[in-house]
Amino acid sequence: MSRFWSQVARDLTPYVPGEQPKIANLIKLNTNENPFPPSPKVLAAIRAELGDDAAGLRLYPDPNADRLKGAIARRHGLTPQQVFVGNGSDEVLAHVFMALLKHDAPILFPDITYSFYPVYCSLYGVDYRTLPLTDDFSIDPDDYCGPRNGGIIFPNPNAPTGRPLALDAIEKILAANPDSLVVIDEAYVDFGGETAIGLVGRHDNLLVVHTFSKSRSLAGLRVGFAVGQPPLIEALERVKNSFNSYPLDRLALAGAAAAMEDEAYFEQCCRAVIATRDTLASRLAGLGFAVIPSAANFIFVRHPQHDAAELAKALRERNIIVRHFKLPRIEQFLRITVGTDDECKALTDALERITG
Ligand SMILES: *Cc1c(COP(=O)(O)O)cnc(C)c1O
């Protein structure tokens, strides 16, 4: 704190991302990155964009990201006017809070969910109310079909639980809230959830947010997008163009478009992650863990006899890092990212020794 801080800076409680330690030979299962490299076409596209002397970098990138929006629109059967892109879906979400969720009634989200949502609320002065997940950590759609609200947001599958919500439940929430925006954060949908993108044409109150960080292996490139009907996209463009005209650099625009166009590679990686997840889940269940059924690239587990913080510490001593949230209801859980087969085997071997 210093006398130079604005009142805004004083009042913030920033989000704390999972750590990115600079340690060699670490088995890093804490921030839901993809264990596979991005499509080889991403590297080719970035190389082509750079050329021999990187002279293209003299020039600003396309502020409208037309090629990338076109690639996203084609893949999802949309028009480019239904697509907004940003520097990671976190930035997209930030603009959503300011452009579309700041109203005079509280927005609704689950008590156990992506912990960036309350941070954006505090940054932009958005009032919110959390609704408890059920005892088995499901979202009950009926909870969202009554209270007056200024908007609704949750991930599907939810994070950090990994539990998916069926599309008919989402349609029920959309129908019950015709005057509220419903934001579905589909960061993990490609690992087994059902996307709500197909509902965008029928519901003017639906916005679906995606990221290239998880299923497209591009967390380091920082690209995310939102899809919805054009008036929603226009509101996001207004905020973006009042903040940063060029949130995506030339390399990110080229790389992300190439990743979106390589459907075969994408599907192959998602299938591999899903297969490894299912093996990991059954091995952990075999070690006595309670495993929440996951449709994401992580699993959320608890051991009835071992304290979660102790387990995380013991794993860390063996150079394996997982995520532990010291939060109500979930402090006895660990969130474990699905790594390669070898990484997951090393994890379960270590846990067998620790818990055995
Ligand atoms: C990872 C994640 C994001 C953010 O992704 P970026 O595109 O890397 O900013 C958004 N929402 C949820 C639920 C996530 O888990």
Q: Where are the alpha helices (DSSP H) in the chain?
A: 7-11, 40-50, 66-76, 88-96, 116-124, 167-176, 230-240, 250-261, 263-286, 308-317, 341-355
Residue 26 contacts residue 319 (beta carbons within 8 Å): yes
What is the CATH number for 294? Answer: 3.90.1150.10
Distance separating alpha carbons of residues 344 and 10, to the nearest angstrom: 42
110-125: b or e for each residue (b if 16 or more CB lie within 10 Å)?
bebbbebbbbbbebee
Domain assignment of residue 162, yes or no: yes
Do residues 30 and 141 share a domain?
A: no
Do residues 44 and 16 share a domain?
A: no
Which residue, judged by its Cα, is nearest atom 15 of ligand 1?
A: 187
Distance separating alpha carbons of residues 70 and 78, to the nearest angstrom: 9
Last residue of a domain, one of 262, 279, 295: 262
Domain assignment of residue 152, yes or no: yes
Burial class (CB in 10 A: 0-12, 13-18, 19+), 278: middle
Do residues 19 and 155 share a domain?
A: no
Q: What is the pLDDT of residue 298?
A: 98
Alpha-carbon torsion angle 126, 93, 298, 158, nearest 10: 50
Low-confidence ranges of the chain (pLDDT < 70): none
Average pLDDT, the chain: 97
Domain assignment of residue 341, yes or no: yes
Do residues 34 and 50 share a domain?
A: no
Q: What is the pLDDT of residue 16?
A: 86
Last residue of a domain, one of 219, 242, 262: 262
Do residues 18 and 74 share a domain?
A: no
Domain assignment of residue 78, yes or no: yes
Q: What is the pLDDT of residue 272?
A: 98
Output the six-digit token pair for 276: 């490894």
Residue 64 contacts residue 72 (beta carbons within 8 Å): no
Which residue, judged by its Cα, is nearest atom 1 of ligand 1?
A: 187
Range(s) of the domain holding residue 309: 7-38+264-355
Backbone angles phi, psi at 312, to 5 degrees: -60, -40
Per the structure, the count of domains in the chain is: 2
Do residues 238 and 285 share a domain?
A: no
Q: What is the pLDDT of residue 309?
A: 98
Give the closest residue to 339 by CA, choosing from 277, 278, 265.
277
Do residues 212 and 349 share a domain?
A: no
Distance separating alpha carbons of residues 185 and 154, to the nearest angstrom: 6
Do residues 320 and 257 share a domain?
A: no
Domain assignment of residue 55, yes or no: yes
Domain assignment of residue 61, yes or no: yes
Do residues 16 and 67 share a domain?
A: no
Question: Which residue out of 32, 89, 156, 216 has the highest number of ligand 1 atoms within 8 Å of its CB and is therefore the one to mutate?
Answer: 89
Which residue, judged by its Cα, is nearest atom 12 of ligand 1?
A: 187
Which residue, judged by its Cα, is nearest atom 14 of ligand 1?
A: 187
Last residue of a domain, one of 262, 290, 323: 262
Q: Does the beta carbon of 155 lie inside 6 Å of ligand 1?
A: yes
Q: Does the beta carbon of 162 lie inside 6 Å of ligand 1?
A: no
Q: What is the pLDDT of residue 21?
A: 86
Do residues 142 and 60 share a domain?
A: yes
Q: What is the pLDDT of residue 24?
A: 83
Do residues 123 and 193 share a domain?
A: yes
Measured in Å, residue 90 CA sits from the centre of ligand 1 at: 6
Helix (H, G, I), strand (E, B) or coil at 215: coil
Q: Does the beta carbon of 228 lie inside 6 Å of ligand 1?
A: no
Q: Does the beta carbon of 343 lie inside 6 Å of ligand 1?
A: no
Question: Which residue out of 87, 117, 212, 213 has the highest number of ligand 1 atoms within 8 Å of its CB and is therefore the one to mutate?
Answer: 213
Do residues 157 and 288 share a domain?
A: no
Contacts by 41-46, CB closer than 8 A, 24 or more apart: 41/258, 41/259, 41/261, 41/262, 41/265, 42/218, 42/221, 42/255, 42/256, 42/258, 42/259, 42/262, 43/255, 44/258, 45/254, 45/255, 45/257, 45/258, 46/251, 46/254, 46/255, 46/258
What is the CATH number for 150? Answer: 3.40.640.10
Domain assignment of residue 1, yes or no: no
Helix (H, G, I), strand (E, B) or coil at 25: coil
Residue 240 contacts residue 225 (beta carbons within 8 Å): no
Residue 235 contacts residue 100 (beta carbons within 8 Å): yes
Domain assignment of residue 2, yes or no: no
